[in-house]
Amino acid sequence: MEIRTVQFVKGVIGSEGLPVPTLPVVAFFGRSNVGKSSVINSLVRHKDMARASSTAGRTTEINYFLINDEWYLVDLPGYGYANRPPAVRAKLEKHLSWYAGTDEVEFLAAVLIVDASIGAKDSDRQTFALLREYGRNIIIVANKADKGGRNDMTRNIETLRKEFPDCPLVRYSAKTGEGREALLETLWTTEKG
């Protein structure tokens, strides 16, 4: 798969704002501060497309980007950010749960980004279970694979493979570009599958 064109379409909150026409979706889920925006930017090779911030939890809308005029890349708000007020956190979690399970969206894949340098957190496992419950094609992206020692990273990746069985797992570094081609190939296989 080659990404030729990328266009921001809109940020939405709720089903009434979903873009028309309806196209297949690759939705990116991940904890706040896992590097989700950096992964998306490196994948599409646009440095500032998805807003990366030094302040975790900045994305609050579901952001739609049109790829090759064929499918939407969807950047969802990060979950698990403890410094948000509880009411805001609960509202975002409810919104993410709705999006994961809605029939109004045609999922090609749900990309779950986890931090390879520290491993999966409970919130990652809960999101995985939710996506699995709704029958989504899940791709695990182990981001920050450039951090830490080589042996430690190999162990961490193997642990992630065991925690998220039966899913493609892509070792990724938004910083170095490692895993970009593998993720595009995995998305292409999912699209054609």
Measured distance between the N- and C-terminal CA atoms of the chain, rounded to whole angstroms: 13
Alpha-carbon distances of 11 from 18, 27, 31, 123, 185, rounded to whole Å: 9, 13, 19, 24, 27
Cross-strand bridge partners of residue 63 = 11, 75
Residue ranges of alpha helices (H) inside the chain are: 36-44, 86-101, 122-133, 150-163, 180-192
For the chain, which residues make up each domain, given as ranges? Answer: 6-184
Quote the distance between the C-alpha of residue 61 and its chain's center: 14
Give the whole-angstrom CA distance, residue 56 versus residue 184: 26
Residue located via tokens 């182990």: 142
Q: Among 176, 148, 145, which residue's Cα sits nearest to residue 160?
A: 145
In this model, does residue 12 exceed pLDDT 70?
yes
Q: Among 91, 59, 89, which residue's Cα sits nearest to residue 76?
A: 59
Q: What's the mean pLDDT when you consider all of the chain?
A: 87
**Segment 113-157, tens digit of pLDDT:** 999 999 999 999 999 999 999 999 999 999 999 887 778 888 999
**Segment 53-88, tens digit of pLDDT:** 444 445 578 999 999 999 999 999 888 765 667 777
Give the whole-angstrom CA distance, residue 56 versus residue 73: 21
Name the pTM for this structure.
Answer: 0.90
Superfamily of domain 6-184: P-loop containing nucleotide triphosphate hydrolases (3.40.50.300)
pLDDT at residue number 162: 95
CA atoms within 13 A on the CB side of 89: 12
pLDDT at residue number 179: 95
By 3-state DSSP, what share of the chain in percent is helix, strand and coil, each rounded to 5? 35, 25, 40
